């Protein structure tokens, strides 16, 4: 099995390293002139991971031509552009694996939908989601993740070929729920960071409980299984997103309410904009997510928005 990884950020670089560790032939693609790729070519290290010589580095997108599996790990808002580029190559019978979490701003499309809208139907799409940070995996700390696809054979192949002592994979059973759950957990990570920024971190337990219920309603309205919100894609990823020092979304939320700049990618910022579209489309109540939206996009006072969540009408928990 030949695998090409598209995207040489911290997660894409980790994926290439991980795939090499399970004895698969892997090539890592990055754009010509990319700072990340330039450093990898010079040092074979990105500050966290050192790549073995068995990982081939390339700036030629033709690497997808010889790949059986194309693993994509880029910023979610760049996926449409990449897929248009790949569509011109008229790919056939490839397995496209999305190792990324988000929704398209302006449309609310799930990432697998973007792939399907651009590529020939002979190609199969899968998602690789769940908890874990690059730093921890690289140091041998294991975790559980999920692989999902509409194609059961593709799921089986990927789980069997990619499992190891570092990552235990589960077979996903709901690609809608898994994609929505994975994308929205980043928004909840931002909310958690806002709690940290206001020194009310003890509310994270309530945040996790109510947010999972909130996202389960959205998943159900979209035609997925509401229980997916309680799985690895969402609730199972909260430790890594809501508490971890490595969580970009949590850190972004904290720095935002404190008025400090943040120069890393926080996917939840874009996802919450797309969620506003989905809330209206599916007529679903998303109070936590919309509070985050108002703070980030409408300059609402963050503490006041958090307080409003406490002032909502009294009701049964379930």
Q: Which residues belong to the active site? A: 185
Q: For residue 244, how far is the Cα from the chain centroid?
A: 16
Within 8 A by CB and 6+ apart from 223, the residues are 176
List of residues 6+ apart from 221 with CB closer than 8 A: 282, 283, 284
Q: HSE of 184 in the Cβ direction (CA atoms, 13 Å)?
A: 33
Q: Are 220 and 267 in contact (CB under 8 A)?
A: no
- Taking a C-beta distance cutoff of 8 angstroms, is the pair 172, 155 a contact? yes
Separation CA 118–CA 100 (nearest Å): 17
Q: What is the SS3 assignment for 66-103?
A: CCCEEEECCCHHHHHHHHHHHHCCCCCCCEEEECCCCE
Q: Which helix (H) or strand (E) holds 150?
A: none
Integer Cα distance of 181 and 111 in angstroms: 12
């Amino acid at each position: 099995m030949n695998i090409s990884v598209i995207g040489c950020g911290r997660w894409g670089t980790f994926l290439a390293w991980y795939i090499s560790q399970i004895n698969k032939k892997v090539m890592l693609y990055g754009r010509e002139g990319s700072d990340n790729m330039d450093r990898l070519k010079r040092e074979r290290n990105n500050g966290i991971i050192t790549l073995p010589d068995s990982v081939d580095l390339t700036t030629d997108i033709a690497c997808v031509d010889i790949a059986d599996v194309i693993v994509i790990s880029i910023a979610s808002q760049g996926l449409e552009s990449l897929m248009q580029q790949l569509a011109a190559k008229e790919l056939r019978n490839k397995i496209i694996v999305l190792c990324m979490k988000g929704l398209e701003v302006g449309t609310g499309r799930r990432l697998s939908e973007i792939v399907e809208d651009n590529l020939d139907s002979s190609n199969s799409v899968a998602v690789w989601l769940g908890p874990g940070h690059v730093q921890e995996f690289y140091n041998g700390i294991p975790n559980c993740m999920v692989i999902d696809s509409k194609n059961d054979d593709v799921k089986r192949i990927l789980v069997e070929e990619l499992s190891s002592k570092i990552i235990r994979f589960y077979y996903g059973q709901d690609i809608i729920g898994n994609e929505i759950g994975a994308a929205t957990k980043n928004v909840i990570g931002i909310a958690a960071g806002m709690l940290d920024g206001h020194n009310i971190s003890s509310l994270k337990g309530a945040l996790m409980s109510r947010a999972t219920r909130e996202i389960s309603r959205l998943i159900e309205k979209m035609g997925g299984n509401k229980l997916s919100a309680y799985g690895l894609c969402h609730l199972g990823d909260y430790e890594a997103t809501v508490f971890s020092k490595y969580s970009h979304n949590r850190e972004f939320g904290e720095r935002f309410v404190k008025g400090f700049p943040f120069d890393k990618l926080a996917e939840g910022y874009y996802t919450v904009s797309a969620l506003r579209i989905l809330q209206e489309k599916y007529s679903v109540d998303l109070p936590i997510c919309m509070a985050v939206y108002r703070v980030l996009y409408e300059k609402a006072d963050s503490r006041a928005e958090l307080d409003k969540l406490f002032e909502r009408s009294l009701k049964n928990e379930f």
